[in-house]
Amino acid sequence: NTNISGSKLNIENSQYSLEAEKKQLYKTIQQSRADAVAALKKYSASMKAVTSMEESFRYTEQKFNVGMVTPVDYNAAKTQLLTAQSEMAQSKYEFIFKTKVLDFYKGIPLNLNHLSNSSSLSK
């Protein structure tokens, strides 16, 4: 009878552990989804920033070409554009990574051929 009681206790402990793991997995998946949504917003904002910086740089470049802007100001504008482009690239790959994490939790095998697929957020 002691063995039976011990076995029942082990089963109950295992069931509680399983439920705790399921809850933790659910939280992890929800956090992964939130991370992917945030990464998408960051990527979208960085694309807009690049567009804005490109326009600003073109304007500065035109002014530089006619002597209305100093080389220092020209280089500062170019640096701002390069920084925005770098941040956009970083946010793009962060977004791709976050969606691949979601795909993993959905049981979708890793496929690097379609990196820009963002279908994970719409499901």
The answer to whether residue 44 is domain-embedded is yes
d(CA 49, CA 92): 13
Give the pLDDT score at 114: 61
d(CA 98, CA 52): 26
How many domains is the chain built from?
Answer: 1
Query: What are the tens digits of pLDDT across the range 50-94?
Result: 999 999 999 999 999 999 999 999 999 999 999 999 999 999 999
| Residue span of the structural domain in which 45 resides | 35-121
The answer to whether residue 104 is domain-embedded is yes
Query: Could you please report the per-residue DSSP string of 30-62?
Result: HHHHHHHHHHHHHHHHHHHHHHHHHHHHHHHHH
State pTM to two decimals: 0.77
The answer to whether residue 117 is domain-embedded is yes
For residues 25-46, average pLDDT: 98
